[in-house]
Structure 1
Amino acid sequence: MCGRIEFTLTERMHHALRDTFQIDAWPEQREIRPTDQTPFLTHTEVWTLKTGRWGLVPPGMDLQAAKKYATFNARIETVEGSKSFKDAFKAGDRCVLPLSAFFEWPNKSKVRIARPDDRPLLAAGLWSQQDTPDGPLVSCTVITRPPTEDLTDVHDRMPALLLTKDLEGWLSGPAPEAKAIATGSWRPGLLTVTSAS
């Protein structure tokens, strides 16, 4: 978890993202698997839209070595002690991944999890960029947390989804604040689970 995400924008989602991030042009829309390219957002003085490999390649590790590890998810409980993720978390290389939905397979049946009000999901993430002989290698990961009580029958993990009021705290807050936001920003009752078969 979370091993499949979707970025397929409805008109309402597009407007919501534009209003929140002041960005109008978004990349190709599709279902995204680990190691695929996925959009994510960073913020300094303005929001910046980037695209990178879904599966963090930590500083000092090359892409071939990274392929041996599943780095598309980072558990919020252990992110500070993880060799793969601690540098990005402590250096403030936090980001936000916009999603239209994410998928799970409870009882081997694929389900789609999204907001019923047709608004985008904003997942906490980390990102990295390294210089390589082939050019910049940009990558990212989705932070995960225990599920809200309404999703416990779906999976034992879920993306650390953020409410817009918590974006700044996740991106630039000290580590304890960022971890608390990632664990507690989202609340039960905001998502619906539908069959995706």
Structure 2
Amino acid sequence: MCGRMEFTLSERMHRALRDTFQIDAAWPEQSEVRPTDQAAFLTRTDTWTLKTGRWGLVPPGMDLQAAKKYATFNARIETVERSKVFKEAFKAGGRCVLPLSAFFEWPNKSKVRIARPDDRPLLAAGLWSRQETEDGSLLSCTVITRPPTEDLTKVHDRMPALLLTQDLDAWLHGPPADAKAIAQSSWRPGLLRTQPAS
């Protein structure tokens, strides 16, 4: 997945997010979210909580200046358990869900927008972290990526690990092996539409 996503919500998307997460709030919309921008993400203990944080994970023990040297806006699901940057968040309650309206890729140097044709939001598996700094709490997040579904192989060799609503709990609270399996298998071919983007 290239480093661009979109979070602009139609009325139908608003309703779907409200019904799924029981959050009736002002969602922080952005037409194009880039790495290091603020991105919305959701966590859950007893109830769902909407947070925003830097898109580019800053793991425990690493300060922001050090994190800027690394591309931490994507985490490969195949290696997330072994990664020095991501393994602690993956194993220690740092899984989250990032709501999107679309994401972007550049096959053959032409920008395309990838979204659901039924005007429903996308829910991407993610990780998040909180760091205490001299300026207060620093929240950050990353998008989990996986190999593409068959219908996207000509677009890019990676895609966000998108989740169906029925698989959210397994991603957030399942054992690591189950969470990895869900992230790699929840999304099916044929659920997305690719269109030229400006």
Output the CA distance in 2 between the equivalents of 1:28 and 1:181.
27
Q: Counterpart in 2 of 1:19?
A: 19
Which residue does 1:160 correspond to in 2?
161
Stretches of structure 2 that go unaligned for 5 or more consecutive residues are none
Partner of 1:149: 150
2:194 corresponds in structure 1 to 193
Provide the rounded CA distance (Å) in 1 between the counterparts of 2:102 and 2:2.
Answer: 11
Kept in 1, the 8 Å contact 2:43–2:50? The answer is yes
Q: What is the DSSP-based 3-state SS (H/G/I as helix, E as strand, rest coil) of the residue aligned with 2:132?
A: strand
Q: What displacement does 1:29 show?
A: 3.1
Match of 1:40 in 2: 41
Which whole-Å CA distance do the structure 2 matches of 1:30 and 1:108 have between them?
20
CA contact (8 A) 1:7 1:32 kept: yes
Task: Determine what percentage of the aligned residue pairs are the same residue.
Answer: 83
Q: 1:65 maps to what in 2?
A: 66
For the residue of structure 2 that corresponds to 1:126, the secondary structure is strand
* TM-score normalised by structure 2 residue count: 0.98
State the secondary structure of the residue aligned to 1:189: coil
How many residues align? The count is: 197
Structure-1 separation of matches of 2:30 and 2:109: 26
CA contact (8 A) 2:9 2:29 kept: no
- 1:90 and 2:91 equivalent? yes
Q: Deviations over 1:114-143 (max 9, x none)?
A: 000000000000000010000001000000
* Structure 1 unmatched ranges of 5 or more: none
Q: Partners of 2:184 and 2:62 in 1: how far apart? A: 28
Deviation track 1:42-69 (CA, whole Å, cap 9, x = no partner) reads: 0000000000000000000000000000
